[in-house]
Amino acid sequence: MSTTVSTPVESAEEVTRPAQVPFWEALKLWFKLGFIGFGGPAAQISLMHRELVEQRRWISERRFLHALNYCMLLPGPEGQQLATYMGWLMHRTKGGIAAGVLFVLPSLFFLIALSWLYIAYGHVPLIAGLFYGIKPAITAVVVHAVHRIGSRALKNNLMWAIAAASFVAIFAMNVPFPVIVATAALIGYLGGRYIPNKFTVGGGHGESKKSYGPALIDDDTPTPEHAQFRWFSLTKILIVGGVLWCVPMAALTLRFGWDHTLTQMGWFFTKAALLTFGGAYAVLPYIYQGAIGHYNWLTPTQMIDGLALGEANPGPLIMVVAFVGFVGAYVQAVFGPDLQFLAGATAAVLVTWFTFLPSFIFILAGGPLVESTHGNLKFTAPLSGITAAVVGVILNLAVFFAYHVLWPQGFVGAFDWIAALMAIAAAIALVRYKRNVIHVIAASAVIGLILKTVFAF
């Protein structure tokens, strides 16, 4: 019986390889991630890695990191883009759209509700207490996520050097993120030509495979039919994406005029979507300048409070744009004084549409090109350099969180030792005891609420 002969390794892999994933099962995961994706892109990517690579083994680590490299190269929220990419790779266009939408939808609903409570009723001790507890936990989540992602992407001293240089560049020298990306890509390109062994994607994948086992979409899995590059498919996606942008923009212009608040929001946040290299914090100065300085949609204090709401919500941090849209349209009563909530909710949905539409186009149009290069060092080496650089940039985000949480009045003010203890406790729960992210955040929120309301801390 020659047909039964196989190596022991192959037999073991065939037995343990996950079965095909039904579309509805994937939908449940994307919906779950939309509700528990706290802590910004670093934490969300780490969470997806745990679910997709470590626990479910739907995709191998090398394929995951290759997709992540591409998403980090793009403007826009890399966590949402990565979810879109994973959904598309597994279940074609419908999977990508479902994963991307469900990753954002819970956050949009939460922010509309919280924005209305905030603008209509002002600050209340309950919200203040929850925010006080959540912020140290988010700091711990981001620091933990930097460690997790960095330990996989920084495989040699050169990658560590790129990450360190990018951190110094953005933290101490305020170098624009696009410049950091371009420099890292150039280093990766040259490194791929002259020292290719230093720029091999997923250099530690062999070890991870021992830990996680064979994946449904593994390193050697052939590219699915729908993920193969075709000029016709690319052209169709670009045309459909252009129509999806032009139709609502034209409708707003014809109905309200070019200078109307809703029309200008659509145009402004389209531009913002194309400038979000490095995630939400990289584009916040642009939004701050336009929304406050130019359009007067909200005040500086409201912008800061909106950022706190964004931090406390699941989903991409760039969802703070929904708060900006809601407050701007609500305060200006663009539909009249009796329809302020409707105006705010409409604006929040509109700015979310114009902010995230480019991300879907980037993934659905560029995914086949990326899949065709996952074994080609000429293309992967620059992306490896970019990934190493982005680790340093995300570390800068972690420092930003820690500074504002531990020194809420700046270095001239008092050190918040209670927040520091909460951050350390959250980090221990995540690192030492491998606790679930949402459990840690929920526990921290309860502690913060007790401190603020019971003990009046």
Torsion of CA 63, 65, 71, 74, to 10 degrees: -120
- DSSP structural state of residue 2: G
Q: Looking at residue 146, what is its pLDDT?
A: 78
Q: Looking at residue 283, what is its pLDDT?
A: 67
Q: What is the mean pLDDT of the chain?
A: 82
Residue 153 near residue 391 (C-beta atoms within 8 A): yes
User: Residue 35, Cα to own-chain centre: how many angstroms?
Assistant: 13
pLDDT in tens, 167-201: 999 888 878 766 887 888 899 889 888 888 887 65
Categorize the per-residue pLDDT at 410 as very low, low, confident or very high, splitting at 50, 70 and 90: confident
C-alpha to C-alpha distance for 389 and 395, rounded to whole angstroms: 10
The token duo for 83 is: 């979810």
Helices (H), 74-175: 78-121, 125-153, 157-171
Higher pLDDT, 415 or 432: 415
- Distances 129 to 114, 134, 135, 356 between C-alpha atoms, Å: 15, 9, 10, 31
- DSSP structural state of residue 3: G
pLDDT in tens, 385-397: 877 887 887 787 7
Residue 189 near residue 31 (C-beta atoms within 8 A): no
- DSSP structural state of residue 54: I
Categorize the per-residue pLDDT at 124 as very low, low, confident or very high, splitting at 50, 70 and 90: low
Residue 366 near residue 158 (C-beta atoms within 8 A): no
C-alpha to C-alpha distance for 249 and 345, rounded to whole angstroms: 17
Nearest 5°: phi and psi at 334?
-65, -20
297: pLDDT strictly greater than 80:
yes
User: Residue 348, Cα to own-chain centre: how many angstroms?
Assistant: 19
Number of domains, the chain: 1
Mean pLDDT, range 208-217, rounded to an integer: 66
pLDDT in tens, 65-118: 888 878 877 878 888 899 999 999 999 999 999 999 999 999 999 999 989 988
For residue 236, being part of any structural domain is answered with no
Mean pLDDT, range 139-166, rounded to an integer: 82
Q: Looking at residue 379, what is its pLDDT?
A: 62
Categorize the per-residue pLDDT at 325 as very low, low, confident or very high, splitting at 50, 70 and 90: very high
Give 383's contacts (C-beta < 8 A, 6+ positions apart): 66, 69, 70, 73, 185, 188, 201
For residue 1, being part of any structural domain is answered with no
Residue 285 near residue 299 (C-beta atoms within 8 A): no
C-alpha to C-alpha distance for 17 and 58, rounded to whole angstroms: 9
Mean pLDDT, range 307-331, rounded to an integer: 85
Q: Looking at residue 3, what is its pLDDT?
A: 42
Terminal CA-CA length for the chain? 76
Mean pLDDT, range 346-356, rounded to an integer: 95
Please give the model's pTM, rounded to 2 decimal places. Answer: 0.69
Residue 372 near residue 223 (C-beta atoms within 8 A): yes
The token duo for 200 is: 């091999």
For residue 17, being part of any structural domain is answered with no
Its domain, for residue 267, covers 29-212+244-457
C-alpha to C-alpha distance for 361 and 239, rounded to whole angstroms: 10
224: pLDDT strictly greater than 60:
yes
- Distances 341 to 106, 266, 326 between C-alpha atoms, Å: 18, 19, 8
Categorize the per-residue pLDDT at 5 as very low, low, confident or very high, splitting at 50, 70 and 90: very low
147: pLDDT strictly greater than 60:
yes
The token duo for 61 is: 């680590």
Nearest 5°: phi and psi at 451?
-60, -40
Q: Looking at residue 455, what is its pLDDT?
A: 72
Categorize the per-residue pLDDT at 206 as very low, low, confident or very high, splitting at 50, 70 and 90: very low
* 182 burial via Cβ count (<10 Å: 0-12, 13-18, 19+): middle
pLDDT in tens, 34-46: 888 776 676 788 7
DSSP codes, 196-233: GGGS-TTTTHHHHHHHH---SB-TTPPPPGGGS--HHH
